[in-house]
Amino acid sequence: MKVEFLKTILDIEKSEWDAINKDGYPFIKFDFLSGLEVNKCACPSTGWYPFHATIREKNSLIGVMPLYLKTNSQGEFIFDWAWADAYYRNGLDYYPKLISSIPFTPASGPRLITKDTACSRLVAEAVIKKIEDLSVESNFSSFHILLPNNKEIEVYKDLGLSIRTSNSYHWFNNDYIDFEGFLNDLTSRQRKNLKKEREKIISQEIYMERLVGEQISEADWKEFYNLYQITYLKRGMQGYLNLEFFLDISKKIPENIMMVVARDKKKNLIAGALNFFDKKNLYGRYWGAKEEYDSLHFETCYYQGIEFCINNKLLRFDPGVQGHHKIKRGFFPIETYSAHLIHDQRFRTAINNFLKEERTHIKSHNQESKELLPFKKEVMESIYSKKVV
């Protein structure tokens, strides 16, 4: 088994890379990752040096892992600024570090994909051993696998990596036929609240539309990009992604893209939310609006996505990080994870102690948050008995 590293994803054939991605997870597709590189979003000037791992056996590709050498912690969403600061205060360099992550995309999913799931553990062992050796040679402080799925995290835990717990809020499809079926699962009070929020969109003469793939025109993309940048500027930031990236993926992976657009009575675009989807899940990623409208964010980013999941029989909706307000709108608080290999034993011990305390706090927070879920008691019991969550 041979592990090699690519300084650009363009050093491998698209067909060879995508043949390993059997589940069609959109963010690990060749076209998504190459789009980030080619359009200068994930590149050395932004602190992302592509270093993707390929694993071969007898010259046959059996696994791939998106991998980056990082000189900062921008665009990762699993925050380790305090770790970097601790290194600095002790006269050590935290950067460069290695991470397996989808740049600017805090959505859980596969990070190491293999041709045969039966060999996943052996492949993971080979990759981590190679990275350990490389880190010693090149003086990398650490290796981080951000937001892998639950199957992977168990492997990394068994291999001795430090596991970090974070939280997110996901909606789960309880075999709903339509949005009304979802509303019927809620308590009377919360059902009325959601209906009122949706009615406000109508009363403000706002028109909603879901566009999939090639239904999204170039003009729509340009308008959406302006809204995306406006939203970042309101926070004193600049969006990580550029228009060229959005136009690129619109042509290369339209089958994974759904855009929610909101228009005023003059048909002007006033808000939009960009989503990606695969065979099972919807991922809410980017949102933008010209100005504030009552309940428009909830409609554009949550309710339209829920309807899309129901109509397309998708199992789960991950609308993006943060947002305690999502709970009362039917999104369950869940634990998500990352795995970390800290090479300095002193810092590894200190970080493990921190992670233990952090995990206790997050699990306690999520347990308390579940009391705020808007579902009827019998529905909650049904959902948990089905192990949907």
Q: List pLDDT tens digits, range 273-306.
A: 999 999 999 999 999 998 889 999 999 999 999 9
In this predicted structure, what is the pLDDT of residue 248? Answer: 98
On the question of pLDDT at 378 being above 60, the answer is yes
Q: Are residues 202 and 274 in the same domain?
A: yes
Phi first, then psi: give them for residue 252, nearest 5 degrees: -95, -30
User: Would you say residue 148 lies in a domain?
Assistant: yes
Q: Are residues 55 and 119 in the same domain?
A: yes
Range of the domain at 202: 174-314
User: Would you say residue 151 lies in a domain?
Assistant: yes
What are 58-78's pLDDT values in tens digits?
989 999 999 999 999 999 999
In this predicted structure, what is the pLDDT of residue 345? Answer: 95
Q: Are residues 178 and 301 in the same domain?
A: yes
Report which of 157, 155, 170 is spatially closest to residue 113, judged by C-alpha positions.
Answer: 155
User: Would you say residue 285 lies in a domain?
Assistant: yes
User: Would you say residue 292 lies in a domain?
Assistant: yes
**Spatial distance between the Cα atoms of 16 and 207, rounded to a whole number of angstroms:** 43
Instruction: Label the pairing between strands 207-212 and 162-172.
Output: unpaired
What's the domain count of the chain? 2
Report which of 11, 205, 23 is spatially closest to residue 117, judged by C-alpha positions.
Answer: 23
pTM reported for the whole predicted model: 0.95
Q: Are residues 146 and 178 in the same domain?
A: no
**Confidence category of residue 380, pLDDT binned at 50, 70, 90:** confident
On the question of pLDDT at 387 being above 80, the answer is no
Q: Are residues 126 and 146 in the same domain?
A: yes
What are 81-130's pLDDT values in tens digits?
999 999 999 999 999 999 999 999 999 999 999 998 888 999 999 999 99
Mean pLDDT for the chain overall = 94
Residue 257 sits in a domain whose CATH number is: 3.40.630.30
Q: Are residues 22 and 138 in the same domain?
A: yes
In this predicted structure, what is the pLDDT of residue 343? Answer: 95
Q: CA of 232: how far to CAs of 46, 156, 226, 236, 240, in Å? A: 17, 35, 10, 7, 9
In this predicted structure, what is the pLDDT of residue 22? Answer: 86
User: Would you say residue 215 lies in a domain?
Assistant: yes
User: Would you say residue 289 lies in a domain?
Assistant: yes
**Spatial distance between the Cα atoms of 180 and 354, rounded to a whole number of angstroms:** 44
Other C-beta atoms lying within 10 Å of the C-beta of residue 361: 12
What are 212-221's pLDDT values in tens digits?
999 999 999 9
Q: Are residues 20 and 59 in the same domain?
A: yes
In this predicted structure, what is the pLDDT of residue 388? Answer: 59
**Confidence category of residue 176, pLDDT binned at 50, 70, 90:** very high
Burial of 89 per CB tally in 10 Å (0-12, 13-18, 19+): exposed
Residue with tokens 């428009």: 296
Q: CA of 261: how far to CAs of 129, 227, 275, 321, 366, in Å? A: 47, 11, 11, 21, 32
In this predicted structure, what is the pLDDT of residue 163? Answer: 98
Q: Are residues 195 and 111 in the same domain?
A: no
Q: Are residues 308 and 182 in the same domain?
A: yes
Peptide bond before residue 110 is cis, with ω within 30 degrees of 0: no
Q: Are residues 221 and 162 in the same domain?
A: no
Q: Are 216 and 250 in contact (CB under 8 A)?
A: yes
On the question of pLDDT at 338 being above 70, the answer is yes
In this predicted structure, what is the pLDDT of residue 303? Answer: 98
Q: Are residues 187 and 71 in the same domain?
A: no
Q: Are residues 98 and 6 in the same domain?
A: yes
Report, as an integer, the average pLDDT of 15-41. 95
**Spatial distance between the Cα atoms of 268 and 143, rounded to a whole number of angstroms:** 46
Residue 35, classed as helix, strand or coil, is helix
